[in-house]
């Protein structure tokens, strides 16, 4: 009886165990096979997080290793409005005092009353945000570390910061028209504007990368997950400009603008042998970090965008073309220089209404004789003259890594009057860089060099330095022609209108230019001139080629009394910086 009972109980137990195992296996089959993929996906949704990495924008350096444009941390102030407790007006007043000091309008305000008004407006805006419906309203953007520390010192637990990066300029506004700035596109994303920031946006902009990682419920990485920070920074740029040379150019230009009471001005300095831009100073200038304060016209690089008729500086190109073509030599006598030249109803005179019968071309360049230049232009002929000017790069872009570099208008039809006026630099427009490139071809023994602003690029991802190759260079005139024209320019510098300021220590090949300003209504303005002086030194072995240009100098309209002295004042400093030994006793 007991054996049968025990046997029944044993069978019942085994049956129970079997059914239980079958049920477990069925459930496992259901969860792991039938719904396994669904549960796996659900698990991954709960534990896998995505994270986007973004690098920093590439930095910009001078050729001598100084940082021109970098990145620094800035801080956006936000408020935990839902949990905030305290006196809204009191905290707003304290914050406004700190935030106001970072406000450009507050900084630019000329009197205390204006500063108080701006601070009160900031305080009012803060109060509105404290009472807004947003959970985390933004109270201020891009605060400095100093402002952040002052706010942290208030010990208010309801204030917090988001960290980001913004451009900063350790050399202040130095070379602003070269660097450009970072603005916003239509989607409020950072984008380079003007200068190398705009032209080399693809090089400078940071990279982004999105990754997926296993985390716990709090977002911490699970064991076995690996999150590696990558260098996604944009490429660093090293420019050709030298910090010391740029400083001299900007300092002297500021002096010249004030001293000669000019509206605008430029100083551009090239390495004569390589075409590297060593300095570009412009006035008016702007502060890159406050670009929004300035009209668009000031933000553009005037050395590229402001076209002008170069006047007598252009005469060296006329003479160089004619000598190279074999139609004149330095001693050629002008047989049509006894008086004004008439072309139908047009009469063309010299700048001082003085005439020099039988003057030779070297003397004509010294005296900046318009009538003699007409004679040279006619001997050369319109087709040959146009051909040479195009070879000199007049009207052509510079392949320069600066935004706004483009070709300019070149006359398509040149009649007798146009040929006459172009020969002495009126009736044709160019920009400063084009003229400097052309004259530097004479300094470089007849070979034209494309001005170069970018020295090298450093790729952060590859950790590799990439040198920028010089563009192909073309011969414009023969070495013999370049030597002859250089000698004539030396004579023009030492015996021309600016001889009073000529250097007694080193030989300069240069030419003045006082050009009229075209009136949009037709003709030329009677009360404005553009004064310029262009040249290179030392003449026999040029180390630098420089253009100085002043628009509407009111102390004197003449280049010999404004642009030329400023050129020599700058050149004196360059001789020291370049360690050039004087070649005159």
Confidence of residue 519 (pLDDT cuts 50, 70, 90): confident
Identify whether the C-beta of residue 486 lies closer than 8 Å to the C-beta of residue 442: yes
Banded model confidence at residue 214, pLDDT cuts 50, 70, 90: low
- Residue 465: the pLDDT is 92
Bridge partners, residue 49, by sequence: 213
**Residue 229 pLDDT exceeds 70:** no
Question: Residue 423 pLDDT > 60, yes or no?
Answer: yes
Structural element, H or E, at residue 142 = strand 138-143
Instruction: Tell me the pLDDT band of 363, cut-offs 50, 70 and 90.
Output: very high
- Taking the C-alpha atoms of residue 585 and residue 582, their distance in angstroms, rounded to an integer, is 8
The 10 Å CB-count burial string (b at 16+, else e) for 418-448 is: bbbbbbbbbbbbbbbbbbbbbbbbbbbbbbb
Q: Cα separation of 68 and 468, whole Å? A: 19
For residue 38, the model assigns a pLDDT of 64
The CB-side HSE value for 436 (13 A sphere, CA atoms) comes to: 31
352 band by pLDDT with thresholds 50, 70 and 90: confident
pLDDT of residue 15: 75
Query: What integer is the mean pLDDT of 239-265?
Result: 98
Average pLDDT estimate for 110-136: 93
Residue 22 has pLDDT above 90, yes or no: no
The candidate with the shortest Cα–Cα distance to 548, out of 112, 252, 222, 148, is 252
Instruction: Name the more confident of 515 and 11.
Output: 515
pLDDT of residue 286: 97
Res 350: pLDDT: 85
Residue 380: the pLDDT is: 98
Give CA angle at 24 (19, 28), nearest 5°: 145
- Per DSSP (E only), the strands in 308-436 are 341-343, 346-348
Using one digit for the tens of pLDDT, what is the confidence trace for 479-500? 999 999 999 999 999 999 999 9
User: Which residues are CB-neighbours of 462 under 8 A, at least 6 positions away?
Assistant: none
Task: Evaluate if residue 212 carries a pLDDT over 70.
Answer: no
Please give the Cα distance from 139 to 159 (Å, whole number): 9
CB distance 466 to 250 below 8 Å: no
Say yes or no to pLDDT of 228 above 70: no
Q: How far apart are CA 585 and CA 578, in angstroms?
A: 19
Mean pLDDT (whole number) for 143-166: 96
Tokens 């070979």 map to which residue? 447
What domains are there in the chain, each with its CATH number? 72-152+159-170 (no CATH), 243-293+300-577 (3.40.710.10)
Q: How confident is the model at residue 54 (pLDDT cuts 50, 70, 90)?
A: confident
Which residue's entry shows tokens 């999105």? 210
Sign of CA dihedral 433, 434, 437, 439: negative
Strand-pair category, 346-348 with 464-467: unpaired
Across 447-468, average pLDDT: 93
Angle formed by the axes of helices 315-325 and 432-443, nearest 10°: 40
Report, as an integer, the average pLDDT of 519-530. Answer: 88
Split at pLDDT 50, 70, 90, the class of 24 is confident
What residues are paired with 190 via a beta bridge? Answer: 184
First-to-final CA distance of the chain: 141
Q: Tokens standing for 1? A: 């009886």
Average confidence (pLDDT) over 16-39: 69
Dihedral sign computed on CA atoms, order 250, 252, 257, 263: negative
**Does position 20 have pLDDT exceeding 90, yes or no?**
no
DSSP letter (8 states) at residue 314: G
> What ranges make up the beta strands (E) of 284-343?
341-343
Q: Is 168 exposed, middle or buried (0-12, 13-18, 19+ CB in 10 A)?
A: middle
CA-based nearest residue to 202, from 178, 237, 231? 237
Cβ atoms within 10 Å of 546's Cβ, excluding its own? 26
The model carries a pTM of 0.88
Reported as a pLDDT band with limits 50, 70 and 90, residue 203 is: very high
Residue 3 — very low, low, confident or very high, per pLDDT cuts 50/70/90?
low
Tell me the average pLDDT of the chain.
91
CA dihedral 515, 560, 390, 421 (to 10 degrees): 40
The partner residues of 474 in beta bridges, in order of sequence, read 448
Q: Is the Cα dihedral 370, 373, 378, 382 positive or negative?
A: negative
- Rounded Cα–Cα distance for residues 18 and 574 (Å): 100
Give the confidence band of 520 by pLDDT, cuts at 50, 70, 90: confident
pLDDT of residue 187: 87
- The per-residue pLDDT for 51 is 62
User: 380 φ, ψ to 5°?
Assistant: -75, -40
pLDDT tens across 266-277, in order? 999 999 999 999
Rounded distance, CA 561 to CA 259, Å?
11
- Arithmetic mean of pLDDT, 508-522: 91
pLDDT of residue 34: 65
Instruction: Kindly state the average pLDDT of the residues 143-153.
Output: 96
């Amino acid at each position: 009886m007991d054996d049968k009972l025990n046997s029944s109980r044993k069978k019942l137990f085994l049956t129970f165990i079997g059914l239980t195992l079958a049920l477990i296996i069925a459930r496992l089959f259901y969860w792991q096979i039938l719904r396994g993929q669904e549960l796996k996906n659900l698990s991954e949704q709960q534990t896998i997080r995505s994270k986007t990495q973004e690098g920093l924008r590439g930095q910009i350096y001078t050729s001598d290793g100084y940082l021109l444009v970098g990145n620094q941390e800035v801080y956006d102030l936000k408020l935990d409005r839902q949990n905030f407790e305290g006196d809204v007006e009191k905290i707003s007043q304290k914050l406004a005092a700190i935030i106001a000091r970072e406000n450009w309008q507050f900084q630019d305000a000329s009197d205390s009353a204006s500063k108080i008004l701006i601070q009160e407006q900031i305080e009012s805006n803060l109060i509105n945000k404290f009472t807004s419906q947003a959970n985390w309203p933004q109270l201020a953007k891009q605060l400095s570390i100093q402002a952040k520390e002052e706010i942290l010192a208030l010990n208010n637990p309801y204030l917090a910061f988001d960290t980001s990066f913004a451009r900063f300029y350790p050399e202040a506004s130095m070379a602003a028209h070269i660097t450009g700035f970072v603005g916003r596109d239509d989607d409020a994303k950072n984008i380079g504007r003007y200068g190398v920031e705009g032209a080399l946006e693809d090089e400078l902009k940071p990279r982004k990368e999105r990754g997926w990682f296993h985390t716990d419920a709090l977002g911490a990485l699970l064991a076995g997950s690996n999150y590696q920070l990558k260098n996604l920074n944009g490429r660093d740029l090293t420019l050709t400009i030298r910090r010391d040379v740029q400083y001299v150019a900007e300092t002297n230009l500021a002096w010249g603008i004030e001293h000669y009471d000019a509206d605008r001005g430029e100083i551009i300095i090239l390495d004569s042998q390589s075409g590297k831009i060593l300095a570009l100073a412009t006035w008016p200038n702007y502060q890159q970090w406050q670009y929004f304060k300035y009209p668009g016209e000031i933000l553009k690089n005037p050395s590229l965008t402001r076209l002008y008729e170069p006047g007598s500086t252009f005469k060296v190109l006329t003479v160089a073309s004619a000598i190279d073509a074999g139609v004149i030599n330095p001693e050629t006598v002008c047989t049509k220089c006894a008086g004004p030249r008439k072309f139908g109803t047009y009469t063309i005179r010299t700048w001082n209404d003085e005439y020099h019968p039988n003057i030779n071309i070297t003397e004509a360049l010294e005296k900046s004789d318009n009538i003699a230049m007409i004679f040279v232009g006619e001997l050369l002929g319109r087709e040959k003259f146009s051909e040479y000017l195009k070879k000199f790069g007049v009207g052509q872009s510079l392949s320069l890594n600066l935004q706004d570099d483009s070709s300019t208008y070149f006359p398509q039809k040149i009649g007798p009057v146009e040929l006459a006026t172009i020969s002495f630099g009126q009736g044709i427009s160019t920009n400063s860089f084009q003229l400097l490139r052309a004259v530097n071809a004479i300094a470089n023994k007849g070979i034209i060099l494309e001005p170069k602003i970018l020295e090298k690029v450093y790729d952060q991802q590859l950790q590799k330095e990439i040198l920028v190759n010089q563009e192909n260079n073309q011969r414009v005139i023969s070495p013999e022609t370049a030597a002859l024209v250089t000698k004539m320019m030396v004579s023009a510098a030492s015996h021309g209108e600016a001889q009073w300021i000529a250097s007694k220590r080193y030989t300069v090949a240069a030419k003045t230019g006082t050009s009229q300003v075209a009136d949009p209504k037709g003709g030329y303005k009677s009360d404005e001139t553009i004064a310029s002086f262009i040249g290179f030194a030392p003449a026999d072995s040029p180390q630098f080629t420089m253009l100085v240009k002043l628009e509407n100098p009111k102390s004197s309209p003449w280049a010999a009394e404004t642009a030329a002295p400023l050129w020599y004042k700058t050149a004196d400093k360059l001789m020291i910086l370049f360690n050039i030994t004087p070649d005159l006793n």
